Chain A
Amino acid sequence: MLFPFHFMLDECMNVLAIGSALSRISPKMVQGSPLASHFRLSRRGQEVLDAKFLLRQTASLIIFESLTSSLFLRMQVLLIENPKRYLFVGSPWLRKVNELKTLGIVLQDFALHDSTVDLLQVQKTQEINLDEAREAVEKLEKQKEGLEQVVEERTHALTLANKELSRAMQSKDDFLSTMSHELRTPLNAILGLSESLVENIYGELNRKQARSIETIAESGQHLLSLVNDLLDIAKIGAGKMDLDLSITSVEDVCKASLRFITGIATKKKISIELILDPNATTIYADQRRLKQMLVNLLSNAVKFTEGGGSVVLKTKSDRERNTLDISVVDSGIGISAIDIEKLFRPFTQLDSKVSRQYPGTGLGLSLVLRLAELHGGSVKVESDIGTGSRFTVSLPWSQSTTDLSPPFKNLGETNLGDASEGPLILIADDNEINLSTIGDYLLAHGFRIIQARNGLEAIKAVRDHNPELVLMDIQMPLMNGIDAIKALRTDRFFESIPILALTSRAMVGDQERCIEAGADEYHSKPVNLKQLVQTILSRLKSTKPR
């Protein structure tokens, strides 16, 4: 059927014929009935449907609106002459698929050539697409909300974990600080008393006694270096080691490092050689840490080299890479390729046989690597079993630093003369061994001594005796050294008295706290007594008489 929705009108606008589909959905629209009882024109102002109107509409679309249902018909009119007839062809105007059901129309009611059904189906497809897009957006929103919640929960958990970590780090720092103090305090006594004994401050020693004391001092020094290494590794691990970078003389650092091992090397009949690159006289580095690295490497070289062997310290600059390579080359036992990988792990010693023969903690190389990395450098190892090893520390270096002069000073010896007239030094320390060790040494070197065992006593002693210099321990009962220094600095009579802070705590920030409180210098215990005397003398020389 070509036009299932058609109808034909006579001149009076009565129905003459009607299409099958239209007849089914508008059963009252029968032959002879006036169209006006079934449909009206849907356009406003065009209420009258008559021949005159239709004549003008042959080229226009005419929309009829059902008076009894929601049906709209979009029609075209064809004029037929003799007799005069008006044939309307078209199809229902549908905006949504569900109107099919409402109007009781099935797809088969439409002519095959009518694209209304297709358009409805396209529209439905678009609706489904839109619905799915909407669903997808909702799903994404929900996922986003879920994710936000997860992020919030994770952030909360991380915050808690961070707090816990901070607490753990603080505990670790506290532990290190305490251990540092606990280990250094007895060491201070061991080293200080050994030094005094060696210098016959407590009387003459026989040869056997002197040798024993030397062994005690050496063991104490070894223990001290281990404690220091451990603390340094802990500090680097906690990211709390700051480098004190300055223009440093390469030659001086190398020579100072070699001095540490010369004694043992000579004993073992190992030859020592220093080969310096004349183009690299200075480097921007932390002098103390650089020396620490080299001493570590040189000590290992001497330790693992048999008598009659050689150890060479060699520097070589590379202008293109802007690096300075400092190599320690030995003719020692060498390291296998497999063992080289384990070398830089802390507490690793290569094999038990070697460790029994060459004792050590295995901390040294790990520390060297970490210090080199802190400088922005690296460490390389080349070795063959039985031939020897070459450890090379590569550090950032620039040619421009070589023109600058190294900032080194020499301290002079001073004869103090009669002890009864020597400078009066206050030693404030709650540890009796420290008091007597330092006190005895200073007395033996012509100083006069007064003692205090806590901060309050120290303040009183300064006010009562007006000493020329104060050695102030930091950890003391009743009042600590920091508070005592602060109190003294607020007194205008003692605001310029030289105060050297001495502490067994060697944690980050200690030095700053002491200096901030008003100390002139900071020294971590155990102090080298000879050096302490030099420091006191130097400080006294540079201090104006009060």
Chain B
Amino acid sequence: MYGMVNKAIQDLVTIQFGEDKWEAVKRKAGVEIDSFISNEGYPDSLTYGLVGAASEVLGLSADQILFAFGEFWVLHTAKLGYGDLLSSAGRNLGEFLDYLPTFHVRVGLIFPNLKPPRFETSDRLAEQVTMHYYSHRPGLSMMVLGLFSGVAKMYDTPATTTQIKFKDKGDDHDEFIVRWGDAMNA
């Protein structure tokens, strides 16, 4: 995974829990890197190791960590470096989600080693869309839920996300229904 992901985990732990906790997480994960380089590739195992260690050190479940990371990624990390680009991906939550598949295609073009996930949209309604998430990396659906939550917060639009297909449980991919506005009451 690219260093920006590990850097985001570092920032999340440091900002929300303190520098000491981050050092403890690194120690626990056996990571001796001081600063991650955003556009440098790191083994996925390192990222998973950091998440596992953070879970132990912070006393949170891995799902909680992943969800928090997903939100943090959108609201903090991506915004820091790619804020203008991110906010230009749509004028509202709906447009952003519509553009998400293209956005990830473009990301894959720019970061050839990133192997980003693939998104597809279907069943688009005025305030609802079904998001299909395909990734070779297992166990990250909670992070996707956090990402959607973060995007909704970025547009200041209350939204709900429901996962209806689970790759972990044998489905061929993860599927989520995102609703906002009146659709949330439907």
For the complex, is A100 an interface residue (Cβ under 8 Å from B)? yes
Residues on A with C-beta less than 8 A from B102 are: 107-108, 112
A124 in contact with B81 (CB, 8 Å): yes
Which of A128-136, A369-377, A452-460 lies at the binding interface? A128-136
A107 in contact with B88 (CB, 8 Å): yes
A103 shortest CB reach to chain B, Å: 10
A105 in contact with B88 (CB, 8 Å): yes
Closest to A108 in B: B99
Query: CB-CB contacts of A107-151 with B at 8 A, as 1s and 0s?
Result: 110001000011011101100110010001001000000000000
B120 shortest CB reach to chain A, Å: 15
A97 in contact with B85 (CB, 8 Å): yes
From known contacts A98-B84, A118-B110, infer whether A107 and B37 are also in contact, taking CB-CB under 8 Å.
no
For the complex, is B91 an interface residue (Cβ under 8 Å from A)? yes
B87 in contact with A118 (CB, 8 Å): no
B110 in contact with A136 (CB, 8 Å): no
- Provide the bound-state CA to CA distance between A299 and B72, in Å: 84
For the complex, is B162 an interface residue (Cβ under 8 Å from A)? no
B83-98 at interface with A (beta carbon < 8 Å): 84-85, 87-91, 95, 98
Closest to A101 in B: B84
For the complex, is A338 an interface residue (Cβ under 8 Å from B)? no
User: Residue among A112, A118, A121, A139 with the most chain B CB within 10 A?
Assistant: A121
B85 in contact with A100 (CB, 8 Å): yes
A492 shortest CB reach to chain B, Å: 79
A139 in contact with B109 (CB, 8 Å): no
For the complex, is A106 an interface residue (Cβ under 8 Å from B)? yes
For the complex, is B106 an interface residue (Cβ under 8 Å from A)? yes
B88 in contact with A100 (CB, 8 Å): yes
For the complex, is B38 an interface residue (Cβ under 8 Å from A)? yes
Closest to B7 in A: A132
- Provide the bound-state CA to CA distance between A136 and B103, in Å: 29
- Provide the bound-state CA to CA distance between A500 and B49, in Å: 83
- Provide the bound-state CA to CA distance between A121 and B38, in Å: 14
For the complex, is B39 an interface residue (Cβ under 8 Å from A)? yes
A118 in contact with B109 (CB, 8 Å): yes
A108 in contact with B98 (CB, 8 Å): yes
B35 in contact with A107 (CB, 8 Å): no
B15-64 at interface with A (beta carbon < 8 Å): 35, 37-39
B98 in contact with A121 (CB, 8 Å): no
Interface contact tally, CB-CB below 8 A: 60
Closest to A139 in B: B35
Residues on B with C-beta less than 8 A from A106 are: 88-91, 95, 99
B82 shortest CB reach to chain A, Å: 6
From known contacts A128-B38, A132-B38, A136-B35, infer whether A108 and B106 are also in contact, taking CB-CB under 8 Å.
no
A471-502 at interface with B (beta carbon < 8 Å): none
From known contacts A118-B109, A129-B38, A139-B35, infer whether A100 and B84 are also in contact, taking CB-CB under 8 Å.
yes
Question: Size class of A's contact patch?
Answer: 20 to 34
Closest to B36 in A: A132
A108 in contact with B95 (CB, 8 Å): yes
- Provide the bound-state CA to CA distance between A98 and B109, in Å: 21
A128 in contact with B88 (CB, 8 Å): no
B81 in contact with A128 (CB, 8 Å): yes
A101 in contact with B88 (CB, 8 Å): yes
A305 shortest CB reach to chain B, Å: 62
Residues on A with C-beta less than 8 A from B90 are: 106-108
A344 shortest CB reach to chain B, Å: 44
- Provide the bound-state CA to CA distance between A101 and B79, in Å: 14
B139-181 at interface with A (beta carbon < 8 Å): none
A120 in contact with B38 (CB, 8 Å): no
A128 in contact with B39 (CB, 8 Å): yes
Closest to A143 in B: B34
A121 in contact with B110 (CB, 8 Å): yes
Residues on B with C-beta less than 8 A from A117 are: 106
B38 in contact with A101 (CB, 8 Å): no
B164 shortest CB reach to chain A, Å: 26
B106 in contact with A121 (CB, 8 Å): yes
Residues on B with C-beta less than 8 A from A139 are: 35
Residues on B with C-beta less than 8 A from A121 are: 82, 85, 106-107, 110
- Provide the bound-state CA to CA distance between A43 and B160, in Å: 52
- Provide the bound-state CA to CA distance between A132 and B81, in Å: 11
Closest to A102 in B: B84
B39 in contact with A97 (CB, 8 Å): no
Closest to B35 in A: A136
B84 shortest CB reach to chain A, Å: 4
A193 shortest CB reach to chain B, Å: 75
A76-118 at interface with B (beta carbon < 8 Å): 97-98, 100-101, 105-108, 112, 117-118
B110-146 at interface with A (beta carbon < 8 Å): 110-111
Residues on A with C-beta less than 8 A from B111 are: 125
- Provide the bound-state CA to CA distance between A117 and B37, in Å: 23
- Provide the bound-state CA to CA distance between A280 and B84, in Å: 90
A160 shortest CB reach to chain B, Å: 33
B109 shortest CB reach to chain A, Å: 6
A127 shortest CB reach to chain B, Å: 8
Closest to B102 in A: A112
Residues on B with C-beta less than 8 A from A129 are: 37-39
A107 in contact with B110 (CB, 8 Å): no
Residues on A with C-beta less than 8 A from B107 are: 121
Residues on A with C-beta less than 8 A from B35 are: 136, 139
- Provide the bound-state CA to CA distance between A118 and B82, in Å: 13
B106 in contact with A101 (CB, 8 Å): no
Known: A106-B89, A106-B99. 4 other contacts (CB 8 A): A97-B84, A107-B103, A121-B106, A124-B84
18 A-B pairs with CB atoms under 8 Å apart are: A105-B88, A106-B88, A106-B90, A106-B91, A106-B95, A106-B99, A107-B85, A107-B88, A118-B109, A118-B110, A121-B107, A122-B110, A124-B82, A125-B39, A128-B38, A129-B37, A129-B38, A136-B35
| A interface list, Cβ under 8 A from B | 97-98, 100-101, 105-108, 112, 117-118, 120-122, 124-125, 128-129, 132, 136, 139
| B interface list, Cβ under 8 A from A | 35, 37-39, 81-82, 84-85, 87-91, 95, 98-99, 102-103, 106-107, 109-111
The 9 closest A-B pairs by CB, nearest first: A100-B88, A97-B84, A98-B84, A128-B81, A106-B88, A107-B89, A121-B110, A97-B85, A108-B99
